[in-house]
Amino acid sequence: MKVFDLLEPLLKKLDFDSDFTLYGNLFVNLLVLMILAYAIDYLAKKVLIIGLAIVATYTKSTFDDFLVANKTAKYIAHLVPLYFISIKIPIVLDDFVYWENLFGKSVKIFIIILSLYIVRSVFNSLKDYLKTLPKYNDKPIDSYIQVIMIVLWIYALLSIILLLFDTKKSSLLTAFGSISALIILVFRDTVLGFVASIQVTVNDMVRIGDWITVDKFGADGEVEEINLATVKVRNFDNTTSTIPTYSLISDSFRNWRGMINSDGRRIKRHILIKGATVRFVTNEELESFKRIQFVTSYIDKRKLDIDKFNIANNIDKSLYVNGRNMTNLGLFRKYIQKYIETHPGINKDMHLLVRHLQPTEKGIPLEIYCFSKDKKWENYEYIMADIFDHIIASVPYFDLELFEVQHVKAEKLNLLDID
């Protein structure tokens, strides 16, 4: 006797007609099957969820903790009643061939989809676990998992189509080959994103946590996520920019990782000196400039070298343009150099120079090029502002003027009159 045919003999003894007996027995059997499946599902969830939680509590690895968080045990538990139903459906629907075929296929489709959810939860757990490891927390793991899941979903879709229409695999693959161009067109961004993700990782172009600047998309901030199709950037104004992954290999962008990993952050800024205020310095003025401590020793050494050259070459010094002489701009440039060299916020082991740029209609650019020790944004800005505050305030002491005050006569300071 069949396991689910308990009601049929009773209905026959009560002289019910064959149709009522058949459908009544079917209804009761389906009801019993549903109750048993629900009970099995409930027990399976209790056993697996609680069991996995206990295992996660006593193990040192955090991977099983992520399995619990992603509900992997719950999805696996659902497979048990589905498997039970797939076995019992042929028995319950033995006299209903059409419905047996339909319900059998439906259960198999549910099993396929549920298996994908199980695989996805395992991969999500793996992703979360790898992100806790320093070796992998800056890698685009999301991209690879998305690619794998896309392949699995395509395979599942093919399996469902084969199951529904009883189609041979060779026929289906032939059909897909015929429309491959359309498939590539539809999944263009996915294909480009996948290729870009591989190139970005292999060439180590971008990591999660990198500060990048992409002018085309208005992105300037830290990379939070690298997916198959997009890169998510948290800008410094707390807005979010989404950039196509393939744009990182097709367009130019700036990655600040080298600066962050280096020993300093570059300061490269200039001031504009009014050209008309640049002049030679007299010997009397040199004595007054010696009171500026950063250039005292420089003036003594430089003056000695200049005097030797002028005497050796019999230079007529009735005009300062003859021979070699010091200028107020040259002294100011040397002063800035010495000031920066003694500044506590500057890395002395990296490039440090003060140079002239090409003169312009707005004046002579005097550029300061150095590196701050502190690379943190607010501290870097403070160091740079502190340096230029001092430099700008020092300009009048060398009888120079900034371009911006060329229409307003700056008060010149006569160092000889300073007490």
- Least confident residue range of 76-80, 180-184, 349-353, 393-397: 180-184
Query: Over the stretch 270-284, which tens digit does the pLDDT of each residue have?
Result: 999 999 999 999 888
Burial class (CB in 10 A: 0-12, 13-18, 19+), 29: buried
Taking alpha carbons only, the member of 332, 330, 333, 352 closest to residue 341 is 352
- Least confident residue range of 27-31, 335-339, 374-378, 408-412: 408-412
User: Taking 90 as the threshold, does the pLDDT of residue 96 lie above it?
Assistant: no
Burial class (CB in 10 A: 0-12, 13-18, 19+), 197: buried
Task: Answer yes or no: pTM beyond 0.85.
Answer: no
Half-sphere exposure of 259 (CA within 13 A, CB side): 16
Q: What is the pLDDT of residue 413?
A: 45
Average pLDDT over residues 194-207: 76
What percentage of the chain carries pLDDT values higher than 70? Answer: 82
Q: What is the pLDDT of residue 3?
A: 43
Band of pLDDT at residue 399, cut at 50, 70 and 90: very high
Could you tell me if 97 and 82 are in contact, meaning their C-beta atoms sit under 8 angstroms apart? Answer: no
User: Taking 90 as the threshold, does the pLDDT of residue 412 lie above it?
Assistant: no
- Beta strand 211-214 with 219-226: parallel, antiparallel or unpaired? antiparallel
Band of pLDDT at residue 163, cut at 50, 70 and 90: confident
Instruction: Measure Cα distances from 89 to 39, 76, 83, 102, 167 in Å.
Output: 17, 21, 10, 10, 23
Q: What is the pLDDT of residue 42?
A: 86
Q: What is the pLDDT of residue 8?
A: 55
What percentage of the chain carries pLDDT values higher than 90? Answer: 26
Average pLDDT, the chain: 81
Could you tell me if 196 and 243 are in contact, meaning their C-beta atoms sit under 8 angstroms apart? Answer: no
Q: What is the pLDDT of residue 185?
A: 67
Cβ-based neighbour number of residue 351 at 10 Å? 10
User: Taking 80 as the threshold, does the pLDDT of residue 174 lie above it?
Assistant: no
Average pLDDT over residues 205-210: 84
Whose tokens are 């292999």? That residue is: 202
Average pLDDT over residues 106-111: 85
Q: How far apart are CA 179 and CA 91, in angstroms?
A: 41
User: Taking 90 as the threshold, does the pLDDT of residue 301 lie above it?
Assistant: yes
Q: What is the pLDDT of residue 406?
A: 44
Q: How far apart are CA 128 and CA 62, in angstroms?
A: 10
